[in-house]
Amino acid sequence: MTRVEHLRNLALLGACAVALAILPHALTVYLRSFVLFTMMYVVLALSWNIISGFTGYTSFGHVAFYGIGAYACAILVADYRWHWLPTLGVGAVLAAVVGVAIGYPVLRLKGPYFAIAMLGAAEGTRVVATVWDGLTHGGLGISLPSAETSLETYYAMLVLMLLTVVVAYGVGHSRFGVRLNAIREDEVAAEALGINATLYKLTAFTLSAVFPAVAGGIQAYKVLYIDPPSVFFVQITIAMALMSMLGGKGTVIGPIVGAILLYTAQELTWVNFPTAHLIAYGLFIVLVARFMPRGLMGFAIDRGWVRKGMVH
């Protein structure tokens, strides 16, 4: 990609940022929160995509980091009377530490074994949050003191989303990203070409853990009540995976488009048919896997609408 194209994309992102910054003033409270959650899912899908799309390690446990961030915020705000903003940083650091601790052993596994181990790791974190009464208030959950104006959390999510997009874009279009792709394609060959796969995987995994934690923190302050089942909800992980797959994992645009489409579709079906959205979800997975295994972006690349390769 040429310098001009990078600048054009940056300008495009800037325009989106400005539009999204002005938007909430024109929206109802409901729509404002709809946009906020859409941005949150963009963050989650893009983060998941760094380890699972770029690097090929499909994680079924990424909600763990989201939950950790949510709890960091809720505990510090409710029990220690912190201002909510710095708690996001604590959540991020905590997620990075846990990310390294989980990633180091688990990233030795491949394919379905890695996916299942991550599912287990996320369930484990949920159990810890449930039984560690003294810290988390267990199954009772935590209510946060209300001081929220929906604008604060909206702008926090906007900033987080912009940051995530910039990082994902930077990774995707760098030699670092190309090496993550190489690990995805053939880890043995990648190692034989000088790539320290352990280090690269761990870096990608930790990076993909940090942003969901911040998103979890913002979400906790937005909804003002969390408990283990709601913030360690396995469906959140599945949403990250589905959104990336629908848009096209391993690309930067794919997870963004996938998150917007799927969250919108989910919101529309949920409003009209409370339980039908799960059936629609299932059907969707089947159809995407069958007809667009590489997602919308893959579909577009195969038809020559989008250029192959991230660094061209």
Partner 1 sequence: MGAHPDGIALEARDLRKAFGGVRAVDGCSFAVPRGKISGLIGPNGSGKTTTFNLLTGLAAPDGGEVLYRGENLAGLKPYQIFRRGVTRTFQVTRIFREMTVLENMLSVTGLDVPDRVARARAEELIAFVNLTHLRAEYGGRLSYGQQKLLEFARALMTDPDLILLDEPAAGVNRTLLQHLLDHIHRLQGQGKTIVIVEHDMNVIMNHCERIFVMDGGVKIAEGPPAEIQRDERVLEAYFGRRR
The Cα–Cα gap between 175 and 213 comes to 26
Rounded Cα distance between 173 and 175, Å, is 7
The binder of partner 1 chosen from 123, 148, 191, 267 (CB under 8 A): 191
Q: Which stretch binds partner 1 (CB under 8 A): 6-14, 58-66, 116-124, 192-200?
A: 192-200
For position 312 contacting partner 1 by CB under 8 A, the verdict is yes
310 scored as a contact of partner 1 (CB under 8 A): yes
Q: Integer distance in angstroms from the first to the last C-alpha of the chain? A: 5
Q: Which of 50, 75, 171, 190 binds partner 1 (CB under 8 A)?
A: 190
Quote the least distance from Cβ 180 to partner 1, whole Å.
Answer: 9
Choices 2-10, 147-155, 158-166, 187-195; region in contact with partner 1 by CB under 8 A: 187-195
AA identity, residue 202: L
Task: Decide: is 300 part of the binding site for partner 1 (CB under 8 A).
Answer: no
Size of the site for partner 1 (CB under 8 A): 25
Residues 274-293 that bind partner 1 (CB under 8 A): none
| Of 85, 113, 129, 95, residue with least CA distance to 232 | 129
Burial of 25 (0-12, 13-18, 19+ CB in 10 A): exposed
Which residue, 212 or 250, has its beta carbon nearer to partner 1? Answer: 250
Select the residue interacting with partner 1 from 127, 131, 287, 311 (CB under 8 A): 311
Q: Is 23 helix (H, G, I), strand (E, B) or coil?
A: helix
Interface pick for partner 1 out of 97, 193, 268, 283 (rule CB under 8 A): 193
| Listed ranges 137-145, 191-199, 205-213, 258-266: which one lies at the site for partner 1 (CB under 8 A) | 191-199
Nearest approach, Cβ of residue 196 and partner 1 (Å): 5
Contact between 101 and partner 1 by CB under 8 A: the answer reads: no
Residue 98 half-sphere exposure toward CB, CA atoms < 13 A = 26
Q: Is residue 194 close enough to count as binding partner 1 by CB under 8 A?
A: yes
Q: In sequence order, which ranges of the chain are alpha helices (DSSP H)?
A: 3-22, 29-49, 63-78, 84-106, 111-131, 133-136, 150-172, 175-185, 187-192, 197-223, 228-231, 234-247, 253-272, 276-291, 295-302
CA 264/CA 39 separation, integer angstroms: 11
Question: CA neighbours within 13 Å on the CB side: how many for 281?
Answer: 20
CB of 2 to partner 1, least distance (A): 12
The residue written with tokens 């935590």 in the block is 142
Instruction: State which residue, 100 or 197, has the beta carbon closest to partner 1.
Output: 197
C-alpha triplet 216, 298, 158: angle, nearest 5°: 25
Q: How far is the CB of 103 from partner 1 (least distance, A)?
A: 18
Query: Mask 227-256, x = binds partner 1 (CB under 8 A)?
Result: -----------------------x------
Positions that interact with partner 1 (CB under 8 A): 175, 178-179, 181-182, 184-186, 188-197, 250, 307-312
